[in-house]
Amino acid sequence: MSPRPPRAAKPIPFPAVHRDIRHDSAPLHVAGTARYVDDMPDAAGLLHVALGQSEKAHARILSIDLSTVRAYPGVVAVLTAADIPGMNDVGPVVPDDPIFAENLVEYVGQCLFAVAAETRHAARAAARLAKVEYEELPAIISIADARAADSHILPPKRVERGDPDGALASAPHSLSGTLAMGGQDHFYLEGQISMATPGEDGDMHILCSTQHPSEVQHLVARALGRPDHNVVVEVRRMGGGFGGKETQASLFAACAALVADRTGRPAKLRLDRDDDMVMTGKRHDFEVAYKAGFDDAGRILALDITLESRCGMSTDLSGAINDRAIFHADNCYFLPNVRITSYRYKTHTVSNTAFRGFGGPQGMLAIEGVVDDIAQHLGLDPLAVRRVNFYGGPGRDVTPFGMKVEDFIADSLFDRLEASSHYQARRTAIAAFNAASPVLKRGIACTPVKFGISFTTSFLNQAGALVHVYTDGSVLLNHGGTEMGQGLYTKVSQVVADVFGIGLDRVRISATRTDKVPNTSATAASAGADLNGMASFNAARTIRDRLAVFQAARWGVAPGDLSFANGFVTAGDKAISFEDLTRQAYLARVSLSATGFYATPKIDVDKETLIGRPFYYFAYGAAVSEVVIDTLTGETKLLGVDILHDCGTSLNPVLDRGQVEGAYIQGMGWLTMEELVFDAAGRLRTHAPSTYKIPGCGDVPDHFKVDLINQPNREETIHRSKAVGEPPFMLAISAYHAIKHAVAASGGTGAVKLDAPATPERVLVAVRARRGLMP
């Protein structure tokens, strides 16, 4: 690691928004000088923490003998449930997530105790030496197990409109089908980590890799039995979160803090990859069953669809995640008569959690599967069937949950992308290729995305910011959002620089800390820039307004006549540099510091019925993917991807393009290669990159064209931009359907049966089934 700072960036002129500006940490990332928690120099007396884990999926604990753990050389402390001064729980919504299991374990890998030692090696070695006696209980592992046992973590929910049964009975065509889709490990490059440092008089400072510093603060304080004001959580950046650090960092932060509190020494807990994969929740896997009624053009007249998910052993965020699956089970399609039923199953597996899209991808894949099945059944181009089902004008513009779709643009995106990607010509060429190629088969698909922006738990849609202007005219910015690689800090800095009319190099953003901006929401739901951008804008405006009043009086003009641009404040032919103005204002005792706040308007949804307006607006996109499959091995290759995506008027097009590319590839990993395998005993067998395959550089297609439409958001978001973090994840549904198209071309007729992820094994089985070769 080089102690020298990288070369200074070229100053970025005013205005900064809507410009391609690199990520603020990019030079540090490249130079290896961006600091993550594990890069902090070891404090004197630092202890290393490791966790003892359950070996059983469901069992009563009869006894735990920790004597050999305590006796291991270098071990300083061993903590169990009895050592927790406050509450033994880190459940984010419902208190059903024990820090240390007491009498019962409910998944393999569940935390039993913490070991603190002088070295990480000693802690990890000692943690394995516990002697635990279990009395095994019947374990519910899969969705099928849970369905059979009627095992629910939350009651089912249903959204219904019209007369689905009647419309099904009278529809000219009907079809039923099922689809299973797997979960997904977050595979952030930086695993879960926390370092807790005790202060005086009960204070605790925690460096943590989390998307939700406030929640970590509150849950750690509760575990320590102290008020929130004793605990400070600080996050400069994460090496990726993807939803996996929205609730799941708390357990590890709590264990580090409990050790630090007990021993009075700083304590660090860093999971290794295998433990991280075993101990932390994943994307929910789903099973879908549907009955659809439709006309000759494939227009859906009735749909009865059931979404069943594996939630794991505790509630975590499963309520909101499954709600969002319901909210996206229409995607871009008007469903006149519809019943959507959602089952949230309790299983004896790790508690599943947020993952990019937050249930949206699962709901969307379900309806896209229905539409594709209808198209194959009728022998139509799926693109045409998608188009006839799109939301339209009056009478076809209300979602199943009662929200009017006012901003629909998927139809025009589709038209533009169909033309720019040469979809029809390629489809014709693919048919010709397939007719002449017995082994390799190609496929193509175009799918749309409509993704709702806002937390569906309405109160979470709020944010705060803190802005200081120093007397040299430099600005220090702080807000409640966290940086996980998505470029939030850069975007918000651009917004603030423009308020003051100064260069971006004059604005420094500081680490997110719960003692600077309190009671924040997770950086999630893609709303980071919408919420924190607006809160920071409001804080900066407060200071700018004070400066304007002050300077206008000195010049004898109205404050509204002042303009802040290019580092100067001007009115007519009068001008003062921003630096000089701040110094003069300071001498005149004008406050140069302000907080800002923002709450998203217009949203309101009933928690129980899910009827209302959960979203401020929708973000849209469309993608065309082309693949080739090998019908002898089931291998697939992505040949080309064309994307048209809606970021409103982008705050920073180059960062947004990066989000679109990364999200597509991550979605493609979910749907084509990443496979989580739990055995019958509930053990995760794919807990390392050797057995869990994520996309690599070689999986990025040679042709990968991403265009942004750059059209203002009709709602008043920050500079009329749109959220981008999650929506493009679902563009990868096109890759999955392209594979189905190729499978269809290998023989047979009707709907293609292919569960996700479309691994070579599943593709091969699907091809052989089409060819009548399966038993």
> In the complex, which residues of this chain contact ligand MTE (CB under 6 A)?
240-243, 356, 484-486, 488, 523-529, 659, 662, 723, 725-726
Q: For residue 613, what are the β-bridge partners?
A: 604
527 touches which of ligand MTE, ligand MOS, none (CB within 5 to 8 A by kind)? ligand MTE
Minimum CB–partner distance for residue 524 and ligand MTE (Å)? 4
Pick one of ligand MTE, ligand MOS, none as the site partner of residue 486 (Cβ within 5 to 8 A by kind). ligand MTE
| Number of residue whose CB is nearest ligand MTE | 528
Taking CB atoms, the residue at the shortest distance from ligand MOS is: 243
The two structure tokens encoding residue 334: 């008007």
Nearest to ligand MOS of 236, 324 (CB atom)? 324
The answer to whether residues 683 and 48 touch, using CB atoms and an 8 Å cutoff, is no
Q: Which residue bears the tokens 């129980």? A: 608
At 21, give phi and psi (nearest 5°): -125, 130
Cα distance between residue 248 and residue 354, in whole Å = 9
Q: Is 513 helix (H, G, I), strand (E, B) or coil?
A: strand
d(CA 773, CA 549): 81
Q: Which pairing describes strands 204-208 and 604-605: parallel, antiparallel, or unpaired?
A: unpaired
Tell me whether residue 484 or residue 763 sits nearer to ligand MTE (CB atom).
Answer: 484
- Provide φ and ψ at 507, rounded to 5°: -110, 125
Q: Which of ligand MOS, ligand MTE, none interacts with 164 (beta carbon under 5 to 8 A by kind)?
A: none
Q: Which is nearer to ligand MOS, 364 or 562 (CB)?
A: 364
User: What is the rounded distance in angstroms from the CA atom of residue 639 to the CA atom of residue 442?
Assistant: 9
Least distance CB 356 / ligand MTE (angstroms): 4
Active site residue 118: no
Task: Give whichever of 211 and 337 is closer to ligand MOS, judged by the CB atom.
Answer: 211
Structure tokens at 670: 């979910």
Tell me how far apart the alpha carbons of residues 617 and 525 are, in angstroms, rounded to a whole number. Answer: 12
Of 291, 367, 285, give the one whose Cα is nearest residue 326. 367
- Per residue, the 3-state secondary structure of 120-141, as one string, reads HHHHHHHHCCCEEEEEECCCCC
How far is residue 234 from each of residues 194, 238, 250, 262, measured CA to CA in Å? 10, 11, 13, 21
For 34-149, where are the E strands, in sequence order?
Answer: 47-53, 59-65, 75-79, 104-105, 111-117, 131-136
How many C-beta neighbours within 10 Å does residue 362 have? 30
Two structure tokens written together for 248? 């799941």
Nearer to ligand MTE, 682 or 695 (CB): 695
- Six token digits for residue 22: 């690199």
Q: Which does 484 bind (CB under 5 to 8 A by kind): ligand MOS, ligand MTE, none?
A: ligand MTE
Nearer Cβ to ligand MOS, position 376 or 526? 526
> Please, which residue, 211 or 461, has the CB nearer to ligand MOS?
211
- List own/partner pairs for 43-46 with CB under 8 A and 24 or more apart: 43/197, 43/266, 45/265, 45/266, 46/265, 46/266, 46/267, 46/268
Sheet containing 231-235, strands listed edge to edge, beginning at the edge strand earlier in sequence = 75-79, 111-117, 47-53, 267-270, 193-198, 204-208, 231-235, 512-513
Distance, CA of 23 to CA of 587 (rounded, Å):
36
Q: Which of 456, 145, 211, 453 is nearest to 322 (CA)?
A: 456
Residue 17 site contact among ligand MOS, ligand MTE, none (CB < 5 to 8 Å, cut-off depends on kind): none
502 binds, among ligand MTE, ligand MOS, none (CB under 5 to 8 A by kind): none
Nearer to ligand MTE, 526 or 636 (CB): 526
Give contact residues for ligand MOS (rule: CB under 6 A): 211, 243, 246, 354-356, 358, 524-525, 726
Q: Find which of ligand MOS, ligand MTE, none residue 361 binds, CB within 5 to 8 Å per kind.
A: none
- From the candidates 215, 308, 368, 726, give the one annotated as an active-site residue: 726
- Which residue number, 52 or 360, has a Cβ lying nearer to ligand MTE? 360
In the complex, what is the shortest distance from the CB of residue 456 to ligand MTE, in angstroms, rounded to a whole number? 13
SS3 634: coil
Active site residues: 726
